[in-house]
Amino acid sequence: MPPQLLSQEDVKKLLQSHPLWELSNETFLTCVIKDRNYQNLVDLLLKISEIAEKMNHHPDIIFSWGKLRIDITTHESGGITLRDQLFIEKLDQIFNQSEIFLS
């Protein structure tokens, strides 16, 4: 049985408490990180991949010079679940400890 979707109200509260993230396509939580230092983004990408492996919950990631885009959803549920909430909470902890520019 797939994880239960969060209610629209729960998603709204989640986004209010995690301002780096936004709702995209009604089913994804998205964060865009910018930094002119290429290695900072590579290091961050590696940290994100470690979390994804530990949680067995893998985001879609677009990596380009100066920018890292992270999209997370629970595909089997067709939207945002507690798994996604826990994932972005872990990422926000990393973001708060990093020296990158967050947008």
Rounded (5°) CA angle 55-75-92: 45
Q: How confident is the model at residue 97 (pLDDT cuts 50, 70, 90)?
A: confident
Look-up: residue for tokens 């708060």? 96
Rounded (5°) CA angle 59-49-15: 45
- Which superfamily, per CATH, for 8-98? Transcriptional coactivator/pterin dehydratase (3.30.1360.20)
Residues 23-59 have pLDDT tens digits of 999 999 999 999 999 999 999 999 999 999 999 999 9
Return the domain boundaries, the chain. 8-98
Contacts of 10 (CB under 8 A, 6+ apart): none
Residues 46-55 have pLDDT tens digits of 999 999 999 9
pTM for the predicted model, two decimal places: 0.91
The maximal CA–CA distance of the chain, rounded, in angstroms, is 43
* Percentages of the chain per state (helix, strand, coil), in multiples of 5: 45, 25, 30
